[in-house]
């Protein structure tokens, strides 16, 4: 599955995860908390040399553990005040085509192949209800391989603690 608008692929087809030691996990925790840390600041926080911190971050990037660095944006303050989760039922074996199409659509922030009553879960953030309606009815439902959709409006949302890396 891919987060196409950012060019990240989380499922690379590798069958095993990279072994992470305590220092790697502390590095991840620090970068998740503050992605703008310099290597010097990162090294000080995890109690390793700058060369060690640099080499570890470089290895975590090369191994695909870290897929990039980004800002956390408040969607509402950025003009995307309407959010919805859209569940899609798709034709069997249509995932590749559907994921490519979803990745190119405006306002589709994230999507995933899931198990259960539906096949795909997409998070759509739009400036208003009219634009959300347009994205769902004119774009998502027109994607070849999409059989049906169901939309849930988001009234309020909060961030959780996330994964514990340290």
Are residue 43 and residue 97 in the same domain, yes or no? no
What is the tally of helices (H) and strands (E) in the chain?
5, 6
**Is 8 a domain residue?**
no
User: What residue numbers bound the domain in which 95 lies?
Assistant: 82-154
The predicted structure's pLDDT at residue 158: 87
Q: How far is CA 11 from the centre of its chain?
A: 12
Are residue 97 and residue 138 in the same domain, yes or no? yes
The predicted structure's pLDDT at residue 159: 82
Question: Tens digits of per-residue pLDDT, 58-85?
Answer: 999 999 999 998 888 899 999 999 999 9
**pLDDT band (50, 70, 90) for residue 13:** low
Percentage of residues in the chain having pLDDT higher than 90: 79
Are residue 62 and residue 125 in the same domain, yes or no? no
Are residue 98 and residue 129 in the same domain, yes or no? yes
Higher pLDDT, 145 or 163: 145
B/e letters for 78-108, b = 16+ CB within 10 Å, e = fewer, are eebebbbebbbebeeebeeebbebbbebebb
Q: Are 71 and 77 in contact (CB under 8 A)?
A: no
Percentage of residues in the chain having pLDDT higher than 70: 90
CATH number at residue 135: 3.30.70.920
Are residue 92 and residue 68 in the same domain, yes or no? no
Q: Are 100 and 108 in contact (CB under 8 A)?
A: no
Are residue 58 and residue 89 in the same domain, yes or no? no
Are residue 98 and residue 121 in the same domain, yes or no? yes
> What total of structural domains would you count in the chain?
2
Are residue 68 and residue 97 in the same domain, yes or no? no
Of 9, 43, 72, the residue that ends a domain is 72
Residues 74-100, mean pLDDT to the nearest whole number:
97
CATH number at residue 30: 1.10.10.10
Question: Tens digits of per-residue pLDDT, 113-142?
Answer: 999 999 999 999 999 999 999 999 999 999
**Per-residue pLDDT at 10 exceeds 70:** no
**Per-residue pLDDT at 44 exceeds 50:** yes
């Amino acid at each position: 599955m891919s987060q196409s608008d950012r060019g990240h692929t989380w499922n690379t087809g590798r069958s095993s995860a990279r072994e992470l030691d305590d220092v790697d996990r502390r590095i991840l925790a620090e970068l998740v908390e503050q992605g703008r840390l310099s290597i010097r600041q990162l090294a000080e926080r995890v109690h390793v040399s700058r060369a060690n911190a640099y080499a570890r971050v470089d290895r975590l990037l090369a191994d695909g553990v870290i897929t990039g660095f980004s800002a956390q944006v408040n969607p509402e303050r950025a003009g995307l005040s309407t959010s919805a989760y859209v569940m899609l039922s798709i034709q069997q074996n249509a995932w590749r085509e559907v994921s490519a199409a979803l990745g190119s659509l405006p306002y589709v922030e994230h999507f995933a192949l899931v198990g259960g009553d539906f096949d795909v879960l997409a998070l759509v953030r739009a400036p208003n209800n009219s634009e959300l309606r347009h994205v769902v009815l004119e774009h998502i439902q027109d994607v070849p391989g999409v059989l049906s959709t169901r939309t849930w409006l988001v009234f309020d949302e909060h961030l959780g603690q996330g994964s514990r890396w340290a």
